[in-house]
Amino acid sequence: MNSVVIQEPGKLVIEQRALPVPAAGEVRVRVSHAGICGSDVHIYHGHNPFAKYPRVIGHEFFGHIDSVGEGVDAKRIGERVVIDPVVSCGHCYPCSIGRPNVCAELQVIGVHRDGGFSDYACAPAKNAYVVPDVIPDKLASMVEPFTIAANITAFLKPTPQDTALIYGAGPMGLTVIQVLKGVYGVQKVIVADRIDERLQMAQVSGADWTINNSERSVADELAAEGVRPTLIVDAACHPAILQEAILLASPAARIGMMGFSGEPSLVTQQSITSKEISLFSSRLNSHRFPQVIEWMEQGKIAPEKLVTHWMPASEVEAALTLFEKDQRSCCKVLLTF
Ligand code: NAI
């Protein structure tokens, strides 16, 4: 089989590998579609502190089960499945309270262990979720990015009366916008980004008001309209955003963070406590696949609005470059295997 392997930072090779054999409790998936995420690019460049090399990247993937390991029902062969990349120990404190995404021994498929940019990939059987026929093959791998939005919004508990402000209209911001509008019915969703084309995508995904904050300050624009967001999500993840978000937030607002920067953010206790702001962070997803599959099945979210490119896996290097360098024309790239 062919596998996309990052042999060492900066060195991508499409390698011929032997078919993997599913271990006990695992399934093997014949991969047909996989999505590119920023973290794949980070592993490629050696900027992901968790990655070990050589590594088959890819943690957003869909395919058919074609083989099962010991202890897995052979009736599962043939199932159309998406894979939850979160592999957890099941007995540490976070696992015991239903948060395997921050397991003490967390293994992320495509980061800590080999992933889905490969003709075949193995994963624990319990991580393979059946995709209903109404979701087409070419969009099924989009379940995973929406689980990130499902996870952060589960903390934020949006309501229709919220006025939400989202920083960043990349894939992450767009999934959050769609979930706020389509699932929670949030009345007003404001989106700030520095790229007009991304803001247009935000509108297509349901944003009510967009602000290009390379030209105009979000603070000035909101002040002119007398708007104080009650719910803010930082899906741009620059360390300076937290301070601005706290400043702009309404008293009693909730703020969601999803960034991994190692740089400090400058915030004061007073700015947070005086308004009794709730700060939430969110990483990956905790058992959110069934929920997202249901949202997709019910048409509450529209993953096709994020996808700008489908490319053959043989062009993976060009696809990664396009994804990284051209944020005006490119948002989500799906590879076909
Ligand atoms: P992306 O790079 O495609 O999108 C980020 C967007 O933010 C871009 O459109 C950019 O123009 C915009 N932006 C940058 N600085 C800005 C600023 N100061 N104000 C407003 N907009 C700004 O990235 P993607 O894939 O959407 O991911 C966003 C972030 O989410 C990344 O930092 C990534 O590491 C993080 N992430 C976190 C996850 C988690 O589970 N916590 C999972 C996946 C991604």
Q: Which domains does the chain have, with CATH numbers?
A: 2-130+306-336 (3.90.180.10), 149-281 (3.40.50.720)
* Whether the CB of 244 sits within 6 Å of ligand 1: no
CA 237 to CA 223: how far, in whole Å? 23
Mutation choice for ligand 1 from 237, 265, 325, 332, CB with most ligand atoms inside 8 A: 237
- And the tokens for 130? 């059946």
Q: Find the largest Cα–Cα distance for the chain.
A: 64
Q: Which atom of ligand 1 is nearest to the CA of 168?
A: 7
Q: State the complex-level ipTM.
A: 0.99
* Residue that has been written with the tokens 């008293």 in this structure: 251
| pLDDT attached to residue 69 | 98
Question: Is 203 touching ligand 1 by the criterion CB < 6 Å?
Answer: no
Question: In terms of Cα–Cα distance, which of 316, 4, 284 is closest to 146?
Answer: 284
Give residues with Cβ within 8 angstroms of 1, minimum separation 6: 16, 17, 18, 19, 118, 119, 120
Question: Residue 297 has which token pair?
Answer: 């099945």
CA 167 to centroid of ligand 1, rounded, Å: 8
Distance CA 44, CA 10 (A): 6
Q: pLDDT per position in the chain (337 positions), as tens?
A: 999 999 999 999 999 999 999 999 999 999 999 999 999 999 999 998 889 999 999 999 999 999 999 999 999 999 999 999 999 999 999 999 999 999 999 999 999 999 999 999 999 999 999 999 999 999 999 999 999 999 999 999 999 999 999 999 999 999 999 999 999 999 999 999 999 999 999 999 999 999 999 999 999 999 999 999 999 999 999 999 999 999 999 999 999 999 999 999 999 999 999 999 999 999 999 999 999 999 999 999 999 999 999 999 999 999 999 999 999 999 999 999 9
Residues with Cβ within 8 Å of 265's Cβ and at least 6 positions away in sequence, in order, are 239, 240, 241, 242, 243
Ligand 1, from 193, 233, 241: best to mutate by most atoms within 8 Å of Cβ?
Answer: 193
What separation in angstroms does the CA of 33 have from each of 4, 107, 129, 137, 313? 13, 22, 15, 7, 9
Q: Is the CB of 195 under 6 A from ligand 1?
A: yes
302 alpha carbon to ligand 1 midpoint, in Å?
A: 19
Coil, helix or strand for 15?
A: strand
Task: Determine the distance separating the centroid of ligand 1 and the alpha carbon of 307, expressed in angstroms.
Answer: 16
Rounded to 5°, angle at Cα 34 from 72 and 239: 110
**CA 23/CA 122 separation, integer angstroms:** 8
Specify the ligand 1 atom closest to the Cα of 173. 26
Question: How many angstroms separate the CA atoms of 268 and 239, rounded?
Answer: 14
Residue position matching structure tokens 């008001």: 209
Encoded tokens for 316: 């993976």
**Residue 187 burial by CB count (10 A; 0-12/13-18/19+): exposed, middle or buried?**
middle
Residue for token pair 């047909």: 32
Q: Measure the CA–CA gap between 29 and 130, rounded to whole angstroms.
A: 12
The dihedral through the CA atoms of 278, 283, 284, 286 has a sign that is negative
Q: How far is the CA of 171 from the centre of ligand 1 (A)?
A: 8
CA atoms of 201 and 303, how far apart (whole Å): 12
CA contacts within 13 A on the Cβ side of 23:
2
- Establish whether residue 275 lines the binding site of ligand 1, counting it when its CB lies within 6 angstroms of any ligand atom: no
Structure-block tokens of residue 127: 């991580």
Distance CA 35, CA 13 (A): 18
Closest ligand 1 atom to residue 237 Cα is: 32
Contact between 80 and 140 (Cβ < 8 Å): yes
Q: 54 preceded by cis ω (within 30°)?
A: yes
Counting from 1 in the atom list of ligand 1, the atom nearest the Cα of 192 is 20
Contact 180/188 with Cβ under 8 angstroms?
A: no
